Amino acid sequence: MTNPQLFESQMYREVIRQYEEVSEFINLDSNIRERLKYPQRALVVTFPFRRDDYEEVETVVGYRVQHVLSMGPTKGGIRYAPDVDLGEVTALSILMSWKSAIVGLPFGGAKGGVAIDPTSLTRAEKQRVTRRYTAELLPVIGVEKDIPAPDLGTDEQTMAWIMDTYSNFVGSPQPGIVTGKPAALGGSVTRREATGRGAVAVTAQAMDKIGKTYKGSDIVIQGFGNVGRYAALDSYERGAKVIAVNDLGGAIINPNGINIPELFKHTAKNHSVAGFDGADKLSQDILELKCDVLIPAAIGGVITTSNVNNIKAHVIGEAANSPTTVSADKILRDNKVLLIPDILANAGGVTASYFEWVQNRQNYLWKEKDLHEKFIDIMTSAFEEVWTISQKNNCDLRTAALIKGIKRVAAAKLTRGLFP
């Protein structure tokens, strides 16, 4: 690689550090080891954007990175955030490769990003940004090439605009170009809930392995967006006590357990957990509460060396992407905290997306119950394989998951050989 600094970012460094440690542990073939540090394709685009006031034209920067094209089409979300950069998007695309491989999906990893604050956009402005960004991606995306999905700052409506834009350029409806779209356009009825519910499923499974039960446990969930809210609902339905949750608007706590269905009603009306009558305001750091299970379900990099020794949870299920730094991860292991890593715990989203994509390609519709059973079966089966690897190699679950993912991606690369 002539210029590795091209992808420089804190997240990229963390991801590569993990990869290098596991590559050394499994003695990965030197012919493939260096290659997998970098994406196979990285597209940077710029485009003009005019806000509703029509006073000036801004230049917006966007990215789409495809890590591995050897496994099938690439798959990964698109995030809108003011500080997103090529390094972050590249790191997330690499994680998507490992994640898809761990649960056995026929995808390589991809990720996209637009460097803009979505909260500053009106609906009309966001639609214009999305459609122009989609037009810039036309050479690299496609139902059999690269399938986007929602991520931070994007949602079902964003995917609908991408689908419509792409379909208009192609000249026919193309529902399979994205996943995570509205059900009215062929979206999966389980996709919205899948990441949160999948994280809880494998976390509960891990607790069973160490002789504990999820039912009756005290659960703390950091983040109450799409992932956190369904992790909370699934926990509530399993009979666990969700004692604290937070979002950008505030944090709440109830040691006796929060009524999650009622909290759903509150947030639908007030757009935040703050002010919920069934809990008290929480003033301390939610990550440092005493609990049985902590589920980080918001942004990355929240558990670091500066706060890791204040973590009092016995089990951590990483529903967010990269919530724990590499250095903090090692301290958690030393502190005997059982951690279910993000590349396994939050793979429910891409798993449900796979079924949505298959349905769109086949023009076939599964029932919600069948979809739920299928994606939970894939998640729990993947966990069993990762657990077996961890026991066999006497390693933590993150290392075990990376062993499974990296080996599968490397095998595909090596089997296909070099071209030309």
pLDDT at 407 over 60: yes
Q: Residues 235-265: pLDDT tens digits?
A: 999 999 999 999 989 999 999 999 999 999 9
Q: Residue 108: phi, psi to the nearest 5? A: -95, 170
Q: Residue 145: phi, psi to the nearest 5? A: -120, -55
Bridge partners of 110, per DSSP, are 66
Residue 144's pLDDT is 96
Structure tokens at 336: 């005997």
Q: Is 56 helix (H, G, I), strand (E, B) or coil?
A: coil
Q: Residues 278-311: pLDDT tens digits?
A: 999 999 999 999 999 999 999 888 999 999 999 9
| Sign, Cα dihedral of 59, 47, 75, 235 | positive
Residue 353's pLDDT is 94
pLDDT band at 4 (very low <50, low <70, confident <90, very high): low
For the chain, domains (ranges, CATH) are: 40-174 (3.40.50.10860), 192-345 (3.40.50.720)
| 75, 111, 126, 413: the active-site residue | 111
pLDDT at 9 over 80: yes
Task: State the Cα–Cα distance between residues 157 and 184, nearest whole angstrom.
Answer: 11
Peptide bond into 420 cis (omega under 30): yes
| Residue 212 appears among annotated catalytic residues | no
Residue 366's pLDDT is 83
- Residues 6 or more apart from 172 whose CB is under 8 A from it? none
Task: State the Cα–Cα distance between residues 288 and 278, nearest whole angstrom.
Answer: 21
| DSSP calls for 131-169 | HHHHHHHTTT-BTTTEEEEE-TT--HHHHHHHHHHHHHH
Structure tokens at 409: 């991606």
Residue 192's pLDDT is 82
Task: State the Cα–Cα distance between residues 341 and 173, nearest whole angstrom.
Answer: 37
Q: Residues 65-121: pLDDT tens digits?
A: 999 999 999 999 999 999 999 999 999 999 999 999 999 999 999 999 999 999 899
Task: State the Cα–Cα distance between residues 34 and 97, nearest whole angstrom.
Answer: 15
Q: Is 46 helix (H, G, I), strand (E, B) or coil?
A: strand
